[in-house]
Chain A
Amino acid sequence: MTDPKPEISALKMFESLLDKDPEKSMGLAAIEALLEVLKTSTASTVQGLTKDLSNAVDEMMRTDRSSATVQSACELFLRFSSLISQEKLIDANFEAVKCEYVKRGNVFIKRIEKSRSIIAKCFRPFIRSNLKVLTHSYSKVVLESLLESKAHGCVFHVFVTESQPDNSGRRMAEKLRQSGIQTTLILDSAVGYIMESIDIVVFGAEGVMETGGIINKIGTLGIAICAKAMNKPVYVMAESIKFIKEYPLNQSDTPNKFKYRYSTLESKKDALDDEHPLTDYTPPQYLNLLITDLGIFTPAAVGDELIKLYT
């Protein structure tokens, strides 16, 4: 597949992958699109290749899909692929180098494909029978983990917040009911009321920051603070591709590209104060554990893991 303009192809690929399989992780789709770009790139030098890839990333960022995930996944993919050992680079044959890149890209994707199931396995010990779980909005990782626990015979009750403005909690509740899990849909404002009868709180994440805090659907921070006040454990499930190299100090320090959709940022660059942010930043002190495909970490350990990932 030759493409004179690889950027457009990447975006199209990204969109088509997500349309085909709506359950696919957005990060995974982004990486697969990048791999296609890598395979079909017409560049003849490493620099040209890198340029093509970064153009592809930029193009994919200009969509309304979650940009935190896309950005982190792409950056990690690029770093991983280009981490070729010195001996292979000496060979100087660009085709060979490109093959190496593609090989490593495939390895990376295989690893990421399994990440959700690894997380689900890690999470299983946390679910006992007759547990009351509270979750927020629609997270595919959380969904898969809960389904897996149910498949292994655990009986538990899930409370899902409606999570306005896009009502994504409703979708989550339906999916859970379909697999036979007892589910209750609650109002966002009813979290304080229900917290005393909850046993554990589980979130997904759109991005995990260097501080160990997370970026997730708006409303997460409120639930986390409520849980901490009532001493309920808060667990976050996130794939390793969601680790972002940013260090927000507070809400206003979180980059705007994580808070608003791309179209909003473009159209209302100066009047963002009137816009409702779609995500918020939950600082690490409100989180107990992060369950990732690299293992189960405390928020403090995420910084170290990130350093390892990004170096």
Chain B
Amino acid sequence: MGKKKGHNKPQPANSPIAPQAVPETPEKLNAIAEQLKSFSPKKGQATPPSTPEGSNSAPAAALPLATSTPKAQEKADKRPAKAKGKPEDLNDGDGKSRADIENERKAKKLEKQMKKEAATAKKKADAAAGNAEKPPKAPAKEAPANKGQKDAPKTPQQPSKPALKKHFASSDSSDSFNMTANGSKNVSFKEKNIQPSNQYDLTERPAIRVSSYFVHATPHNVHPAFRRLAAKCEFKKLNGVNELLLAFHKTLIEFVEDYNPRPDLPFSESISLDLQPQLCCLSDNGVHPFPQAVGNLIRLFKKQIHELDNTKEICDLKTYLKEWIENSAYYNFDLAEKAIVEFTISKLKSMAHRRILTYSRCPIVEKIILTAAEQFNDLHVYIVDDPNNGSRGKTMLESLSEASIPCTYGHINSIGYLVHQASVVLLGCSAILNTGRVVALRGSSLLALSAQAVNIPVLVAAKTCTFVDKVRLDEHLSTALLREPIETIPEDLVTALVTDLRIVPPSSAPAVLKAKQLGYDN
């Protein structure tokens, strides 16, 4: 799932790799050793050994802290850190351009400064290597106390969010989001010649090796709009894929608006490079995949970026991108919903008794019912709800009752009774897979199954932007941003998918995918 974001998954976050068992090739360690040799040893550190075993023994004498394995860890950490171009790392021959590294150095510099303020005085005293180790390891979202812990990328997200926002609020006010090389402040490099830490904090030592493609999300990488989006989702202000998609569109527009490209790269490359940390921040570096529809949007956005004509003016390009996002929002929300509502109502028209059974709250289904109520008098809605999952059906119940539509509300236990009363089942979905399987809120498949048992049709309102080219989904993995539990409904339980193109049988999902890909390639 991390492939979408264009970077490899990090090493499995939860696999317990023994601290000693970091496999380093001797050549790499030699390189590190050579580099270390050039540093002025501060704490009486002996010449760094060239093998992991050697490393275990030699510093043991030199370091105040007795454990030897962290030394290997540090080396291991240094290696990937180098690849990211730590500010203090003088070895910049790792494939990145000088300018890139300079940018990142400056970014890291500023981040480091902040972290230093929050760090203990002891680390400040260590100055050199200790500080150098800490900042690159931690994704910026982690609270300062959790800095070095790579092994629990999930946990930092939840508790530290409010703390995080506070933490970054101060930095936000100081400088606007600006990635230019010139915009950063000049910070004096005290730690130019770093060396591996002789005294470091155990809590900050990451337990596993960090992948070299790990992209750090620092407050200077990540636009505040994305962090706001993440916070909104965290606090359950955005319910469901629809609202999330809409908010995501707005976030992307803000991002493009504020974006200033790097001077040395063409616009499209620059913006795609800088889009990565944003997405990494939201999805925790691919550990949590994005919800399918959001992933679609991101992929198409990246495609648009890729196809940009870099010879044009930057403001033209930005306007083009913004227009594209706005169009996408318009087509997928205003127009698509209208079309789906129309199609469903044409189906409802031919029914003798309009008794609709629905599950929880889907905004499209709500729209359908509200529009249908204007046309038909004999509408009756049965709302099934799951009290364990937020009882969003109650919101639906309120809005429908306000429109004077007769409703019946029941919990999922009463599905056996309610399904006999209804004549059609109307469900929302968050994605449609290639085979026609429907990805929906947990509990929807119960409605579909019961409907099949009593022989009533099941209609699923699916926007074409939610069709994905996947065959199966890891349902037990929670997605980034949206933490609602989902499940898949088998395609033989669904009578029809009402899309904005036409009403299709679930087996025609690949045809819709083909059609829409062409549609986006305008």
Contact = CB atoms under 8 A, between A and B. Distances in A.
Interface of A: 210-212, 247, 249-250, 252-253, 255, 284-285, 300-301, 303-304, 307
Nearest to B352: A252
Interface in B496-516: 496, 502-505, 507-508, 510-511, 515
A300 B505 contact: yes
22 contacts: A210-B503, A211-B496, A212-B507, A247-B496, A249-B347, A249-B424, A249-B459, A249-B496, A250-B455, A250-B457, A252-B350, A253-B350, A284-B505, A285-B492, A300-B505, A303-B505, A303-B507, A303-B508, A303-B511, A304-B508, A304-B511, A307-B502
Contacts of B507: 212, 300-301, 303
Contacts of B492: 285
B378 to A, nearest CB: 15
Shortest 8 CB-CB contacts between residues of A and residues of B: A300-B507, A249-B457, A303-B508, A247-B503, A304-B511, A253-B350, A303-B505, A211-B505
Contacts, number: 45
Interface string B329-368: 0000000000000000001001110000000000000000
B131 to A, nearest CB: 61
B495 interface: yes
A212 B352 CA distance: 23
A304 B505 CA distance: 10
A303 B495 CA distance: 13
Given A303-B511, A304-B511, A253 B505 contact: no
Interface residues of B, number: 20
Given A210-B503, A247-B496, A253 B508 contact: no
B504 A303 contact: yes
Contact of B511 (A250, A253, A307): A307
A304 B513 CA distance: 12
Contacts of B424: 249
Contacts of A307: 502, 508, 511, 515
Contacts of A247: 347, 496, 503
B2 to A, nearest CB: 32
Nearest to B506: A300
A284 B424 CA distance: 19
B503 A253 contact: no
B350 A300 contact: no
A249 B457 CA distance: 6
A247 B503 CA distance: 7
Contacts of B502: 210, 307
A253 B505 CA distance: 15
Nearest to B508: A303
A113 B510 CA distance: 32
A284 B436 CA distance: 15
Given A249-B495, A303-B504, A304-B511, 18 more contacts: A211-B496, A211-B505, A212-B505, A247-B347, A249-B347, A249-B459, A249-B496, A252-B350, A252-B351, A253-B347, A253-B350, A284-B505, A300-B508, A301-B507, A303-B507, A304-B508, A304-B510, A307-B508
B505 A210 contact: yes
Interface string B439-475: 0000000000000000101010000000000000000
A247 B505 CA distance: 9
Contacts of B350: 252-253, 255
Contacts of B504: 210, 303
Contacts of A212: 505, 507
Nearest to A303: B508
Nearest to A307: B511
A88 to B, nearest CB: 24
Nearest to B424: A249
A103 to B, nearest CB: 29
Contacts of A303: 504-505, 507-508, 511
A303 B505 CA distance: 7
Contacts of B503: 210, 247
A252 B456 CA distance: 12
Contacts of A304: 508, 510-511
Contacts of A252: 350-352
Contacts of B511: 303-304, 307
A303 B511 CA distance: 9
Contacts of B351: 252-253
